[in-house]
Structure formats: structure tokens, C-alpha cells
Amino acid sequence: MVLRGHKIILDAHLAELYGVSVKRLNEQIKRNARRFPPDFLFRLSRTEHENLRSQFATSSSSHGGRRYLPHAFTEHGAVMAATVLNSRRAIEMSIFVVRAFVRMRMALATNQQIASKFAELEARLECHDADIEDLMSAIRELMNPPLAKRRRIGFELPAGSAKAHRKITEAKRRLPIQPRSLAVR
């Protein structure tokens, strides 16, 4: 259940989970108060307790119910409670948590190795991508060669010679209508 923005478990449920009485759990909390900061453990307010009591149908205080408001353990507090209790189940839970953290650390190290290999592969691919792009542009250039200037078939007179000037002039005269730009002067 979520209360005050934290996932919590009540002291009665945690005591049952660890195989101890609520009284024994609360004794250990008092003896080891420094191990339970406010983000690990807090006591319910009367309003919160009333709301929860209607949900869980607990006994009333007039019929031998609780004298004190219950404690609420966050996830961290529930793990810390396992370290201060001496029941068989609490010891098993402490060992389980330690082993889980070791496995998680090993998995994280493996993930970091995988991530570094992945980054290395990405770098190689980026290098190959640039090479492939260069190759593709070279192929495109070969597929679309620039149009070469065509040389006229036959002999051409040098541009400054008298014969060349006469030939051009005669060709202009043969044109039916002479454009102004080509008119002989």
C-alpha cells in the first residue's frame, strides 16, 4: 500500500512476515532507533490509522486492541528490520537481500561491459557509414558523367586567319534574313 508517497508495510504485517511478535519488533526498533530514519519508518497519524482500520477491520481499542499507533515501514525500513531481528525468517531475509544486491551488482557490471561494447560497435559503424557514403557518391558520379564538349568533325581554321574570316562572312550572307548581331559591317 502507498502512504505519504511511500510504499509501506505495517508493523503487524512485517512482524508476521518475519515470524516475530509485534511487541518484539517494536522493542528492536526502539533499541536500534538510529537505524530507522524517517524515510525508513514513521508512525501513522490517528486519521491514517482510522482509515486503515476500516479497510483491515482490526479490533477496537476498547476490546484489547493496540495502545499505540502502528509503525509504517518503507521498503528500506523493512530490509533494515530484518537486520535487527534474530528470528530464523529475518536472518533468511537478510541473507536473501545481501545475495540479491551482489547479483544486482554483477548484472550491472555485465551491463556496463555490454554498453561499452555497444558504444565501440556504434563508433565502428559510424566510421563505416562515412566510408559507404563516400563510395555511394563516387558511384553516383560515375553513373552521371558530366557532358563533354563535342568536337566538330572536320578541319577548323584558326580563328585569326583571313580564310576563316572570309568563310564566316560568306556563311552570313547566305542566310535569308540577317539578324542584327550577325550583320556584316
| pLDDT of 85 higher than 80 | yes
The predicted structure's pLDDT at residue 54: 62
Q: How do residues 14-62 score in pLDDT, each as one tens digit?
A: 888 888 888 888 888 888 888 888 888 888 878 777 777 666 555 555 5
The predicted structure's pLDDT at residue 178: 53
C-alpha distances out from residue 79 to 39, 45, 86, 99, Å: 13, 23, 13, 13
**Sheet strand arrangement including 71-74:** 2-3, 6-10, 71-74, 41-43
Distance, CA of 39 to CA of 73 (rounded, Å):
9
Which residues fall within 8 angstroms of residue 67, CB to CB, at 6 or more apart?
61
Amino acid identity, residue 19? Answer: G
Distance, CA of 9 to CA of 40 (rounded, Å):
11
Which residues fall within 8 angstroms of residue 80, CB to CB, at 6 or more apart?
35, 36, 40, 41
Of 20, 24, 23, give the one whose Cα is nearest residue 87: 20
Average pLDDT over residues 105-122: 82
The predicted structure's pLDDT at residue 19: 86
Contact 67, 61 (CB under 8 A): yes
Average pLDDT over residues 98-125: 82
**C-alpha grid cell for residue 69?**
499507533
3-class secondary structure, 151: coil
Angle between helices 75-84 and 11-18 (to 10 degrees): 50
Range of lowest pLDDT (72-76, 125-129, 162-166)? 162-166
Q: Indicate the domain borders of the chain.
A: 2-86
Identify the band that residue 63 occupies on the pLDDT scale cut at 50, 70 and 90: very low
Contact 76, 39 (CB under 8 A): yes
